[in-house]
Structure 1
Amino acid sequence: MIYKGMVVGVISGTVLGLVLKWLEQLMSKKVYTLLLNVDFIPIIGDIKWPEWVEFVFHLVIAVIIGIVFMWIQNRFRHLSSGSMLVIAFLLTLPTIPLYFPLTALAIKATPRIDDMGAFFYWTAGHILFALSLWIGSFIYKSR
């Protein structure tokens, strides 16, 4: 269950990262920069990390969510696919309003806190993250 959660988390986190990176390049909204930003965190924020390390930080959070999600699926085997989709969205939901404090705390250039276009892209990326969790769990459940 932990391994499955790690795999689902890495895949979902990668989908989110790639989508936000693509949107940042296409729309010039720094949503990928915001996703990877750690400059406001004491100690680690003082270090200039390469992009791949910042991406690994992001994936750690995605893996934790993936493990929790797969634990729920394993613990409550009777839940329908639709119920698991709702749970994927509920686990992902807190990450959407994080846009605001993360933007406010950021030291380097990220989207403006009132940039609703960037917030829309952030939200869309996280909805894809939830869908990726759900699809991943569905694939594992059928095995």
Structure 2
Amino acid sequence: MKLLKGLWIGFWSGLILGLLLKWIQSVTGEQVYTLLLNVDFIPLIGDVQWSEITEFIFHLLISLIIGVVYVYLAKRRKYPFGQLVLISLFLSVPFPFLYFLLSWLAVEADVPAATDWGAFLYWLFGHLTYALLLPILYKTFERKNAVSQ
């Protein structure tokens, strides 16, 4: 059950993050969604012209893994909501730094520069939203299971 819950949480939080960054990119022109999906720097994978859907699936796969890890950590004991948020924020520590790394590693994709602070703030906002979705979805799933049992 932990695995399914983690996959569910990872899927929905990743989907919302992706859609949020796509919306931000469409409204502001900042290429944060493009940055999220970019894989052109990964050996072998980066040589292929993937469709947007396929690149989004790559993003979701990472989110599924994060969701499973999050549920594994959260299920270790009965944590209050505040501590679930802290666990999520701890897991999210690398996300701001990924902005700089992914911007720097991009080969051909039109992504924001590592020095584009506006784009960085959108990236940060999107990933903080993601981090808050993990405990919210976890608690939602817990309540759903309690009601159905």
Q: Same fold (TM over 0.5)?
A: yes
- Equivalent residue number for residue 55 of structure 1: 56
Secondary structure of the structure 1 residue equivalent to 2:114 = coil
Secondary structure of the structure 1 residue equivalent to 2:23 = helix
Give the alignment's Cα RMSD to 1 decimal: 0.8
Tell me the distance in 2 between the aligned counterparts of 1:113 and 1:69: 28
- Normalised to the residue count of structure 2, the TM-score between the two structures is 0.93
Tell me the distance in 2 between the aligned counterparts of 1:29 and 1:6: 29
Secondary structure of the structure 2 residue equivalent to 1:98 = helix
Tell me the distance in 1 between the aligned counterparts of 2:67 and 2:129: 14
Unpaired stretches in structure 1, ≥5 consecutive residues: none
Tell me the distance in 2 between the aligned counterparts of 1:53 and 1:113: 25
1:86 Cα offset (Å)? 0.8
Kept in 1, the 8 Å contact 2:96–2:123? The answer is yes
1:73 Cα offset (Å)? 1.6
1:140 Cα offset (Å)? 2.0
Would you say how many aligned residue pairs link Structure 1 and Structure 2? 142
- Normalised to the residue count of structure 1, the TM-score between the two structures is 0.96
Aligned identity (percent) is: 44
Could you tell me which amino acid in structure 1 is paired with residue 106 of structure 2? Answer: A
Unpaired stretches in structure 2, ≥5 consecutive residues: none
User: Which ranges of 4 or more aligned residues in structure 1 deviate by more than 3 Å?
Assistant: none
- Equivalent residue number for residue 93 of structure 1: 93
Could you tell me which amino acid in structure 2 is paired with residue 101 of structure 1? Answer: L
Summarize the alignment of residues 1-143 of structure 1 with structure 2, pairs less than 5 Å apart. 1-76=2-77, 78-107=78-107, 108-142=109-143, 143=146
Tell me the distance in 2 between the aligned counterparts of 1:9 and 1:138: 14
